[in-house]
Chain A
């Protein structure tokens, strides 16, 4: 990939709503992405390899659980800091952001919120540095938008549980040290289970042939009579609300992250349009290209403020799941549209790995589906405003 010339737009001076520390944190993440991600990401995606060498640095810049309290190895930062880190990581690549937000929101968050003190001390500090990598198992081969229909189950065997079933489309699965797995007990109640690499009967086959998130490893989690010590059950919350609480946190991160991809596509397209000469003048001087660019910056600006406000509400503990759904849905769709329009501005150059746009576009096809599909999030808003459930 050519040199990373990225300059973040800030059309409505949103920076003035951020603290100095927010800007310092974002600046560090931005510099790190320029230095460590941009030079290698195209190659990693082309080869469909997760760039493991970045894990340590990702931990150092706060990519793993920055809002987790200091005593558990986190940085104790607020939700806007977390969002800004996600924005910068996804500006680099959605796959890198996925690795980070799975670790933060889907592994560290449930251990922090629902785990015992011993579980927190055992896992969180190592997850914060990247010494441990985690994954999250909710989706199953036959249960996507309807996670409550899961068949993965645990049986109480007296001194341990026996875990059986399978999970699918799991980011980080192939090399995860620990998996937060959701399974039903004999009473049909969903429980959180910490499954550790090396437990007998636990395998994690990799999913190959993806055209999206190629720099992030995806796999299955297969449980064949896995003996789970009783200490590995998350004690402090059960039911579907437990995994959905994690998804709130992850979706919030995605809402910020996709602003990053949108900004990168816009920035690339704007620079290209000013430099590309056709009919004797830059294509940026043609109305149809200006329309695309003007609409992009308008949508990015709207998304920034929607998401910043969501961050403030989350800091105050007031953000609802429905608000998070609306923001995730809006921002992913916004970013995907911008990627497609930006690709058009670059013409044939837009399909090459010389530019990041096509990679972002393909990544976003996963992002618009995972963590609640585009359609389901709309129905969540629909249910929230009408009181009528239209998805079951």
Chain B
């Protein structure tokens, strides 16, 4: 089976997020980048499928050279090759469109994206790829079994889960449940050494443009400090709730 996993390079979940240039640019200094956790579940599932039924796993991303360490890690974990589309996307459409253009020329049986990336949270790339390629799409997918040309899937829904079936080729937006956290793989020495000789291809983007662009970013307001009111001073508590917190 021929699998493509869409990988996003995102700030580590413990990173302190800041913006520069009047809140218009993300400040990447001192930030550690990791494989988007939802994508990592997908990559691990892809490795398991390959180990079971054979085939080939490619990882693809749209980004500049700064994303390559994350791609090398994916290769060290076991992907066979990596494709980087050399552009800095500002919206999901651009990313999805570029990946779809690549996939039209280089098709896959299964395309795994994450349900969303943990940085910009659009959650749209997988669905858009499916739409552009006219393929079925299952988002928030937390279970996948492949038998020949057909797939049995499980999807998270409000208060429960939905079991689905579809035929390949297929696009999914993966999440935890595809595999468990304990299944996630740490690159071993052999994998890191093999990754040296695996291809990481850089291809230039099409002339298509982003449809949206960010004007500025804002961080949530900082939590104000907790105020303690002495016992017997309930009047002050009521005044604070009324005049400062404005909740009564």
Where the two chains meet, the residues of A that have a C-beta atom closer than 8 Å to any C-beta of B are 5, 7, 10, 20-21, 23-25, 27-28, 31-32, 35, 60-62, 66, 70, 75-77
Contact = CB atoms under 8 A, between A and B. Distances in A.
B188 A61 contact: yes
Nearest to B75: A24
Nearest to B29: A13
Contacts of B190: 60, 75
Contacts of B196: 21
Contact of B76 (A5, A24, A66): A24
A127 to B, nearest CB: 14
A271 B69 CA distance: 28
A342 to B, nearest CB: 20
10 contacts: A24-B72, A24-B187, A24-B195, A27-B73, A32-B186, A35-B186, A60-B189, A62-B192, A76-B193, A77-B189
Nearest to B68: A20
Given A5-B14, A20-B69, A24-B76, 9 more contacts: A10-B30, A20-B72, A24-B187, A27-B73, A28-B186, A61-B186, A61-B188, A75-B192, A75-B193
A75 B189 contact: yes
Contacts of A70: 193
A127 B188 CA distance: 16
A70 B30 CA distance: 34
Contacts of B192: 21, 24-25, 28, 62, 75
Contacts of B195: 24
Interface residues of B, number: 16
B105 to A, nearest CB: 28
B186 A31 contact: yes
A242 B189 CA distance: 29
B15 to A, nearest CB: 9
Interface of B: 14, 30, 68-69, 72-73, 76, 186-190, 192-193, 195-196
- Prevailing SS type, chain A contact patch: helix
A5 B14 CA distance: 9
A66 B186 contact: no
A53 B96 CA distance: 44
Contacts of B68: 20
Nearest to A74: B189
Contacts of A62: 188-189, 192
Given A20-B69, A21-B196, A76-B193, A60 B188 contact: yes
Contacts of B187: 24, 27-28
Contacts of B72: 20-21, 24
A91 B188 CA distance: 19
Nearest to A31: B186
Contacts of B76: 24, 28
Counting chain A CB atoms within 10 Å of each CB, the highest count among B68, B189, B195 belongs to: B189
A75 B190 CA distance: 7
Nearest to A10: B30
B167 to A, nearest CB: 37
B197 to A, nearest CB: 12
B78 to A, nearest CB: 13
Contacts of A28: 76, 186-188, 192
Contacts of B189: 25, 60-62, 66, 75, 77
A5 B73 CA distance: 22
Counting chain B CB atoms within 10 Å of each CB, the highest count among A27, A35, A61 belongs to: A27
A66 to B, nearest CB: 7
Nearest to B181: A35
A322 B230 CA distance: 65
Given A70-B193, A76-B193, A23 B188 contact: no
